Structure 1
């Protein structure tokens, strides 16, 4: 009997570990394709690629609220910083309004080069870099709700800490995360170790007792 218990215990542990939930467990089936992590990338980038605004093998895709630095070599008057507006566009001198949502920074640079070369410059050389990512938001039963700068690798637990921690009335279990994707707005209850993305809204619920 003792031997059978010793053998059974590791088997149960392995079974429980194999059933441990991951972030993908909490995503609806229509959330988008699963992309395998690219070499050198850390979560949440490169883990689950929703169709817009998140890291995937082709690079980070820009979204509303991201701030970009644009440099046109040899043309200092065309160099500066811009923020992606609510329509997913930026405005660049001479190049005009360009839609950049869902594009990587190299793709944006090529789009600007194309516009400038049509009328104004011969063989323009443009570089585009991300200055700041759009913020995430934390609401509900935290001490200091509001918008906070996003940093790569941020988890729900760390977001709660940035919000000053739980209030005495907070439910310290799973929290509600709301995320936009091309399929619409998704709100999902997730564990506190779940990675967040730029633009996510975290809502800490009130406990009932």
Structure 2
């Protein structure tokens, strides 16, 4: 009888231990594609504002914002898909569309006028939406958002990022780079 009681206690203790570990392991470390995204060419998405220059065409040269559906409304050619494209790819698409009955040999260049925002949440001084600056790290974003609170886990954070149309969350060190559109969540420390 005592042996059965010990087994029951061990089973309950084991169940409690695995449940508590499951709570700690309720996240996924950032997958390889998560880190690779920071060294890939920039991909456009909703909220990016672009400076489009069409050589010798001042009426077409202007700033255009990628809308919520992922398009820019461009004169003469209408809606042009921008979401997921690199700047070079979008330049080619615009030039091709302008060639179709509008301009003989259009020379289109695009640069980012303003990147889409980042979001910093959790245990920071002022959670909210902030401007993204190329080369920004998680620590820079936390500094802009008022720094850590007294309860912050200051070792690593959860970052949510859109990669190839999928939304992925991974836990990364605060020294990691971020991308425009990322959401950073600073957790409360457990001790």
TM-score strictly above 0.5: yes
Q: 1:49 aligned to 2:36?
A: yes
TM-score under structure 2 normalisation? 0.76
**How many residues matched?**
164
User: Of 168, 174, 181, which aligns to 1:199?
Assistant: 181
CA distance in 2 between counterparts of 1:27 and 1:167 reads 24
CA distance in 1 between counterparts of 2:99 and 2:39 reads 29
Q: 1:145 aligned to 2:127?
A: yes
**Match in the other structure for 2:30:** 27
CA deviations on 1:16-55 (whole Å, 9 max, x unpaired) are xxxxxxxxx94225x37xxxxxxxxxxxxxxx433xxx55
In the alignment, structure 1 segments of 5+ residues that lack a partner are: 1-24, 33-47
In the alignment, structure 2 segments of 5+ residues that lack a partner are: 1-27
User: Of 127, 131, 138, which aligns to 1:156?
Assistant: 138
CA distance in 2 between counterparts of 1:26 and 1:153 reads 22
**Match in the other structure for 1:189:** 171
Residues 8-157 of structure 1: pairs in structure 2 closer than 5 A:
26-28=29-31, 31=33, 48-50=35-37, 55-56=39-40, 59-157=41-139
Q: RCO higher in 1 or 2 (8 Å CA, sep ≥ 6)?
A: 2
CA deviations on 1:163-203 (whole Å, 9 max, x unpaired) are 11112222223211111112622222221111111111111
Q: Which has the larger radius of gyration?
A: 2
TM-score under structure 1 normalisation? 0.70
